[in-house]
Structure 1
Amino acid sequence: MVRAQRPPADGLRGPRSRRSPGPTGRDLRYVPLTPEAYAEQQRAQGVPEEWVQLTVGLYEQVRSGGLACLPHHRHAIVVAWLAGQWAYHADQDREREAAAARPRVSGERVWDTDTLTYDHVEGGVGHPMTPPVGGAPDKTWMTCDGTVYTETIRDENAVHCLEHGAVWITYNGTATATDVKRLAGKVTRTPYTLMSPVTRQSGTITLSAWGHQLSVDSASDPRVEQFITAYVPGPRLRNRALPARAAVPPR
């Protein structure tokens, strides 16, 4: 039986590392890229220069044994984590640019998303606006697969949906039965939306996305459709893998 050889002491499987086949024809040993080749590979993928320098610096430490205190198999994890950090921040930059270029819906209010925390909580949060457009969400989210709630839901659970790009449509006691029915029909046809009553809100009907909010007096207002079109999925998707169905079921 042929045993797979362990990677060399300075080995590292970075992105697209070159490999040499073992005796069975399978890739058993990883041949690390030089720091220069690794840097060029990152630049070719569009990584900003400051991130290239940061990741290459760590890459050199890994290859030289500077991170010998880490188990060998975790060296690549460290570099992969840095690459993930770059991808995350690059994605946020693109989202900000897209949000800045997107035409505003008339009457829409906008908050600086950098001031809206993403720290997950388990208890209640005193959000500064009603309904909230961001801030500390609960660790679980509401079902937001075009889901209509006929009873009030926790702000913190709904905010978790906004964090992942959903639009939350709410209404107070002044909304007519016709408006509520019309909104419910629109929501059930639109993934990444949810709807619920919020009796304490000032506007008759309010549409909220992460950092964006619009209040209207009637479901027939054309801005309702404009807001949904603009923000489903929303401008801030911190985790695009959010399933539309969650542990908190609709009532």
Structure 2
Amino acid sequence: MASAKNQSAQATARRAKLEEARRKERARERRVRIITISASVAVVASLVAGGGYLMAQANEQEKAEEQAKTSPVTGERSWDKLTQEHVATPVNYPMTPPVGGDHNQVWMNCNADVYTKEIQKENAVHSLEHGAVWVTYNDKASDADVKALTKRVESTPYSFMSPVADQKDPLMLSAWGKQVTVKSASDERVAQFFTKYVQGAQTPEPGAACTGGLGA
């Protein structure tokens, strides 16, 4: 009789231990599910937040570019009613570097082209007519500024760069009918001038080629 009771008690203890093990396993599985779901929610939330951040950044960039295009460039000079005849003779331009007027029938290549020697102004003006921005400098410009502006031009289609020894300021930017002197390559007007005038509204012949012309 005592043996039967002992066996019953042992069986009850084993069932209790088994049930406790099962309870612990179920609890562990619940924790795993909670952690997995929480991690998934966190990932989705971060992706949503990240996507929202990127969209917000894109919107801010678009607004900044639109503002740059519509706001005047501080200190810029403008010329209207510029002639556009093709000529084969030198032109006496009223400004240096020239920003428009009669010009050679062949344009300077202006597809992110950097020239280390002076170029013919009559060819450069034709490039401005096609919507390019022309970066120029003289021997008073610092090597650091020339290097930084070179990098910008080399990454910007419809722009070109060359030295102009007789310009009055060390660093100047020109587009068709527009020109500004900047203090340095980091001057905020550099970015604005590029944004506003590379293929900008001032362009007489938007979309015209910047390749296939005259090279260095």
**Is TM more than 0.5 here?**
yes
Residues matched between the structures, number:
149
SS of the counterpart of 1:178?
helix
Do the aligned residues in 2 keep the contact of 1:150 with 1:197 (CA within 8 Å)?
A: yes
Cα-to-partner distance string for 1:46-89 (whole Å, 9 max, x where unaligned): xxxxxxxxxxxxxxxxxxxxxxxxxxxxxxxxxxxxxxxxxxxx
- Take 2:127 and 2:84, find their aligned partners in 1: how far apart are those partners? 12
SS of the counterpart of 1:150?
coil
**1:107 corresponds to which residue?**
75
Cα-to-partner distance string for 1:230-249 (whole Å, 9 max, x where unaligned): 10113333333422213311
Say which of 153, 168, 172 aligns to 2:134. Answer: 168
SS of the counterpart of 2:194?
helix
SS of the counterpart of 2:122?
helix
User: What stretches of structure 1 move > 3 A for 4+ residues in a row?
Assistant: none
Task: Write the letter of the residue equivalent to 1:171.
Answer: Y
Q: Structure 2: which 5+ residue stretches go unaligned?
A: 1-68
**1:82 corresponds to which residue?**
none
**1:197 counterpart = 2:135:** no
TM-score, normalised relative to structure 1: 0.57
SS of the counterpart of 2:174?
strand
Structure number with greater Rg is 2
**1:123 counterpart = 2:92:** no
Task: Write the letter of the residue equivalent to 1:182.
Answer: A
Say which of 197, 200, 206 aligns to 1:240. Answer: 206
How much does 1:164 deviate?
1.2
> Which one has more relative contact order, counting CA pairs under 8 Å at least 6 apart?
2
How much does 1:169 deviate?
0.5
Do the aligned residues in 1 keep the contact of 2:79 with 2:177 (CA within 8 Å)?
A: yes
Name the structure with the higher helix share: 2
Identical residues among aligned pairs (%): 50
Do the aligned residues in 1 keep the contact of 2:108 with 2:127 (CA within 8 Å)?
A: yes
